[in-house]
Amino acid sequence: MKMTLRNLWIPLCALLMLNACKKDSVLDSKQIALNLVLENPSGLTDAKLSEVKVTFKEINTGKETLSTNVDQQKMNITLGEGSYDVSLAGQITYTEQGKSKTKKVAGLKQGMVLTGAQHSESLALFIVEEGEGFVIQEIFFTGTQTPENKLYLGDKYFVIYNNSAQTLYADGLVIGQSDFLTTQKRDYTPNVMSEAVAVGSVIKVPGSGTQYPVLPGKSIVIADDAINHKEYNPVSIDLRKADFEIFNEDADDIDNPQVKNMENVYGRMVLHNRGFTSYVLAKFPNGTDDFLTHQKYDYSYNLQVGGVVYPMDQEEYKIPNSWIIDAVNLSVQSDFQWIVTDPSLDMGWTFCGKLSADKTRFGKSVRRKVLSTTTEGRVILKDTNNSSLDFEAEAKPYLMQ
Amino acid sequence: MRGSYNFLFSLFCLTSVTLISPAQAQQKGKKNNSSKKDTVNNKIDSLKAKQISLDEVVITAKESKGLSTASIIDRKAMQHLQPSSFTDLLALLPGGRSADPNLRSANLIHLRQTGTPSTGYDISSLGTSFLIDGAPISTRANMQYTAGLTAQSDRNTNRDITAKGVDMRTLSTDQIERVEIIRGIPSVEYGDITNGVVKIIRKQGESGVEARFKSDGFSKLAYVGKGFAFPDQKILLNVDFDYLDAKADPTNRYENFKRVNTSIRLNKLWENNTRDIDLKSSLDYGTSFDNYRSDPDLDLLSVDKYKSTYNRLAFSNNLNINFHQLGFLKSIVVNSSLSMQRDQINQTKWVQTGAATTVNPYTDAGVHDIGFLPPNYTANLLVDGKPVDAFLKAMANMGFKSGKINHAILVGAEANYSKNLGLGQVFDPYLPPSAGMSTRPRSYRDIPATKDLSVFAEDRINVMLGAHKLEMVAGARAMTMAGLSAVDPRANAHWTLPGINIGTQQLQIELGAGIGWQSKFPVIAQLYPDYTYYDLEQLNYYHNNPEYRKANVMTYKFLAENRNLQPARNRKWELKADFSMNRNRLSITYFKESMTNAFRNGSELKIMDFKKYDASGLDPDKITAAPDIKDLPYQDWRRMQLVSVVLNNSALYKEGIEYRFASNRVKKINTRITIYGAWFKTVYENHQPVYRIEDRVIDNKQFMYAGLYADDGGYIRSQLNTNAIIDTYLPKVGLEFSTAIESSWFSSKQNTRSTGTPISYVGLDGISHPYTEADKSDKYLQWLNTDISESQFAKTTIPIDVNVNFKVVKNFKDKIRVGMFVNRIFNYAPDYTVNGYTIKRSGLNSPYFGMELNFNL
């Protein structure tokens, strides 16, 4: 029984080699025949689609396939195996009270999985109601970075703009921050996204109804803390001129007496500084009490952490889609998974920074693009309910001098 | 990083050199074949001797033959295991599994337990006593927590051992001769425990210079020790030194852990005809450092630093007087130790306020006008702890015979003193370590010392009934500390059946049973908690003109002391069976433990009154001075808060079967198979009703109702595992190697039933109202009700997971040992599905490997 260590090293090394030589299976690119059925918005008579353009974006590779080939409300196309975001843009012509009308139409389906040989899918279309009332003009959610590379957070703000030709009143306008993250797709049950947006915090403009007029083409600024932040961070913003500020009582927050406070309808509004949440602008038709009493949203989901699945129950509020005036989805390229509003509210998303916790995002905001200027000089902002197109991403904040 | 590689490289070179040289030596040897026959014979003799001794070599934990269920790990097993710290030895216990050393957080012991307990269940580690040569490592006065910095990002969170027990990272293994881990019911000699006793016996006696060097991906370890003997003076002297330097991970040089342990041990014997006196004295010094500094590439200022140091100096004496005369008194044992620690956390943080933030430096309750923090500043936190622990234990062993029964009686007393002389939590209250924190500086010197006293007695009987042998021990321990007291009865029995002849072999059957109670006193941090402060904002007038700014708070100060706190008490019972035949041995233990009053941080409901001043009447553009609250109208306001308090509310139930089979070492191939493992089921629960407050703002107000819930819920965890170790010794070539197949057959988790609907609720009026069906649709009260979905109570089972580890050691003439190990050389862990989710496990396990070199010169 003679055996030296050297005899042993060889099998030992061989073992190590074996371990290293595990191969991952190679993906075969199969082709699938997709039959996409386009469903017109309900309640329209003699509806006809035209100028339809459908984009199929493969989520993993980012590869986009375009098609305009619609026949009898159907599109037949052959695509490679994968997961797709399908978006549609076009025109719809229909008759209303004897008159023919043409409007923009859109549709979005997220995360359509194509496997097998054939696949059928339907795509619900909706009419794009171009915004004419209040819109979210700007969200400065990233905060700033101090000269020492530390986060500075109190200088965030919203700008709400009157995009109509009439004077509107800001009294009772609410801003809700989505409870779900655009970077975390989960099966929330019950799924109410087609009817409402789940919100984790809601703030409201005070007033009796006619206290805070906003002229056509004018805006209001709602600041986190309406103070001169340059006192605390030289590269920050002076927000003393804000119209409203968010003041969290009982939370060591400060209150500038010269600026009106927003009402905290629900939760504490802390803007997600990486931009993973979405925001909605709404008005409660039956008041705050009605909202607080009847719109509680209890849901459950599975949380997956480190190879373990935890069933979770959570409670928040939801704002019905019909109460919502405007919505903006925010995300980042590297982590985007889904939009957290119904596509009829917003079928796109905008961003500051391309990565999660992107250092370049600080001091940047998202700003709605200008569509046109009227002869009287009133600026009309672009609102096609698609934030990808309507917003300028990584813009210079309007209030930053 | 580079240093670690250099070290590995040098070790590899050394390994290669030592591997090649014997081959050359052999060639030389062949030429001198005609050498003396005597040497050859001598060699054969020594090989035979080795063969016999090999039967005794066990590289796993042995099951104790004593009355208490215990695992014994000796030097040989430790040498083969190649550990970095004491933590690694626990892989040898039933239910244990080898794991990569984690030296960036405190390593706590959880005997006979499965699952990762949350903070409410630290009793397992707190209730396990570590004794080094009979003297305990006391953690009673440890308070190295960082007040106000409880965030997950805080560096100290994972390293804090306040009320958690011994951090096993600080214990090195090289000075140890033998470890006995009592998992079952210990003798009444051991107190202030709930779960177990770890008895560490250190090397004693003459030896050559022993040295060990180990390196793996994270750490470097070095040890040197020597034993001296002075036979004329009957003195033995041992000196040891060891050093460990570990990084958080191989690519991170900004976070590391260092440890130094050194010890001088003296053993003096006085012998005469009537008695022997054996005195063992030791002087030990141990230190460890946890360091963190921020990466200068990420943090331009490089201000953030964390350093936690631990220094312990201990002087222990162990006096043993053995009487030779066959009288009633057999021996007297006196153990004493005095240890002094100097533990410090130095934390520096660059604090950037998120926006204008108030700061309240006052420590008295009442109304205060307070100021604002500067925009940014460097904060320093010092946590200075100087625990002083003294221990004295005296025991007398007596014996007599009545009829057929032999009695061995043990009586004794033990006293412990603990006091912390440290400066405590030290920081500038005007520049606190965290903006918005409400904790205030605190001195540990003002906290009273704790003194405990225990007496114990037990009778051990030994009787032969024909061919049957019965051994029983029964005793009790009474303990008192700070007005608390406990009496712990304990009993163990062991019955050896007559041998059964099977062929030429004899089967030996032994049965055992035991029951016992164990109690653990609360530690100083639990007995004397710090004040909890609440600063309720009454006015926060942040005028654009800094001159006119004003903040006012109402400070509340609660001493969250629980005067009804009781010692935690664990009841254990167990049944054992042991079968042995021809050096093959199978041991099986069934145990059940239940503890219903373990410590947990619970809460008490407090209602606080304050005023909200209304400054809206002032015209901010016309004022000429900051507003004074005396001039302002106000509204009376109330707020409720749950204040943290230590309660006896955690329940911990443990059940399981531990097994171990060790074969005889098969001749010729010198191979032994050891199979050990356990089935464990652990239930963690909080039985008592709990108050919960929803931390939400609804309709411009902080939520102001507290719900009382019947059950806080709990967790059920279970696991079944088997480790099979095949070890082979080839003494001719000085080679030993082992393959360990570690299988976790399953592990499962489940939540215990709980309800989301409160029994009653309390509003700001402080009055309790029953919670009715109608309340479920009330604007506010609906928030107290949660519909817990059924899936919360479903059981999740994680399927099989197998690791294969390999270790090899080459021995050169018992002078040099070169070892190498690879853990997880193979891993089999199939993917599995939970609630429709596929959990991927394949390819996630990378091997952990290292090398070591030992000298015995």
Model pLDDT for residues A226-250, shown as the tens digit of each residue: 999 998 899 999 999 999 999 987 6
Tell me: domain A31-127, CATH 2.60.40, correct? yes
- Residue B248 has what pLDDT? 78
**From the list A3, A146, A267, which residue is nearest B697 (CB)?**
A267
- Residue B153 has what pLDDT? 56
pLDDT beyond 60 at B803: yes
pLDDT beyond 90 at B180: yes
% of residues, chain A, pLDDT over 70? 91
**From the list A16, A232, A257, which residue is nearest B541 (CB)?**
A257
Residues of chain B positioned with their CB less than 8 A from the CB of A155: 355
The whole-chain average pLDDT of chain A stands at: 87
pLDDT beyond 90 at B851: yes
B34 pLDDT band, cuts 50/70/90, is very low
Q: Give the span between the Cα atoms of A353 and A332, in whole angstroms.
A: 6
First vs last Cα of chain B: how many Å apart? Answer: 31
Q: Which long-range contacts (CB under 8 A, 24 or more apart) does B533-536 make?
A: B533/B360, B533/B363, B533/B438, B533/B439, B533/B440, B533/B557, B533/B558, B534/B438, B534/B558, B534/B608, B534/B641, B535/A252, B535/B358, B535/B360, B535/B368, B535/B370, B535/B438, B536/A250, B536/B608, B536/B610, B536/B639
Helix (H, G, I), strand (E, B) or coil at A343: coil
Model pLDDT for residues B91-107, shown as the tens digit of each residue: 999 999 998 888 888 99
Q: Does B540 touch chain A (CB under 8 A)?
A: yes
Please give the residue of chain A at the shortest CA–CA distance from B821.
A12
Cis peptide before A190 (omega within 30 of 0): yes
- Residue B44 has what pLDDT? 53
Q: Does B356 touch chain A (CB under 8 A)?
A: yes
Residues of chain A positioned with their CB less than 8 A from the CB of B368: none
Q: Does B352 touch chain A (CB under 8 A)?
A: yes
Q: Which candidate in B544, B747, B777, B787 is best for mutational testing of the A interface (most A CBs within 10 A)?
A: B544
CA distance A235 to chain B (A): 13
- Residue B387 has what pLDDT? 96
Q: Give the span between the Cα atoms of B21 and B449, in whole angstroms.
A: 61
The whole-chain average pLDDT of chain B stands at: 89
CA distance B123 to chain A (A): 25
Q: Which candidate in A141, A309, A316, A358 is best for mutational testing of the B interface (most B CBs within 10 A)?
A: A309
Tokens of A50: 């035209």
Q: What is the Cα A8 distance to its own chain's centre?
A: 60
pLDDT beyond 70 at B115: yes
- Residue A223 has what pLDDT? 96
Q: Return the closest-CA partner of residue B95 out of B654, B585, B513, B650.
A: B654
B300 pLDDT band, cuts 50/70/90, is low
Lowest mean pLDDT among B71-80, B247-256, B471-480, B744-753: B247-256
B464 pLDDT band, cuts 50/70/90, is very high
Higher per-residue confidence, B375 vs B135: B135
- Residue B151 has what pLDDT? 52
Asked if residues A242 and A222 have their Cβ atoms less than 8 Å apart, the reply is yes
Q: Give the span between the Cα atoms of B443 and B154, in whole angstroms.
A: 22
Residues of chain A positioned with their CB less than 8 A from the CB of B786: 298, 313, 315
Taking residues B196-212, report their average pLDDT. 94
**E-only strand ranges, B431-467:** 450-465
- Residue B813 has what pLDDT? 82
For the entire predicted model, the pTM comes to: 0.84
% of residues, chain B, pLDDT over 90? 65
Q: What is the 3-state secondary structure (H, E, C) of B286-299?
A: EEEEEEEECCCCCC
Q: Give the span between the Cα atoms of B268 and A254, in whole angstroms.
A: 71
Checking phi first, is residue B670 left (phi over 0); if not, alpha (psi -120 to 50) or beta? Answer: left
Q: Which candidate in A141, A252, A262, A293 is best for mutational testing of the B interface (most B CBs within 10 A)?
A: A252
**From the list A5, A153, A300, which residue is nearest B355 (CB)?**
A153
Please give the residue of chain B at the shortest CA–CA distance from A266.
B698
Residues of chain A positioned with their CB less than 8 A from the CB of B698: 265-266, 292
B301 pLDDT band, cuts 50/70/90, is low
- Residue B24 has what pLDDT? 40
Q: Cβ–Cβ of A255/B639 closer than 8 Å?
A: no
Asked if residues A142 and A364 have their Cβ atoms less than 8 Å apart, the reply is yes
Asked if residues A233 and B375 have their Cβ atoms less than 8 Å apart, the reply is yes
Asked if residues B672 and B665 have their Cβ atoms less than 8 Å apart, the reply is yes
Q: Cβ–Cβ of A2/B733 closer than 8 Å?
A: yes
Higher per-residue confidence, B727 vs A44: B727
Q: Give the span between the Cα atoms of A284 and A289, in whole angstroms.
A: 10
Q: What is the Cα B805 distance to its own chain's centre?
A: 25
pLDDT beyond 70 at B414: yes
pLDDT beyond 70 at B818: yes
- Residue B52 has what pLDDT? 54
Residues of chain A positioned with their CB less than 8 A from the CB of B794: 311
Phi and psi at B638, nearest 5°, equal: -135, 155
pLDDT beyond 50 at A22: no
Q: Cβ–Cβ of A19/B787 closer than 8 Å?
A: no
- Residue B13 has what pLDDT? 43
Taking residues B514-519, report their average pLDDT. 97
pLDDT beyond 50 at A70: yes
CA distance A72 to chain B (A): 37
- Residue B36 has what pLDDT? 44
Q: Does B696 touch chain A (CB under 8 A)?
A: yes
Residues of chain B positioned with their CB less than 8 A from the CB of A4: 23, 733
CA distance A312 to chain B (A): 7
CA distance A3 to chain B (A): 7
Cis peptide before B567 (omega within 30 of 0): no
Count of other CB atoms within 10 angstroms of residue B293 = 17
- Residue B54 has what pLDDT? 67
pLDDT beyond 70 at A325: yes
Q: Does B787 touch chain A (CB under 8 A)?
A: yes
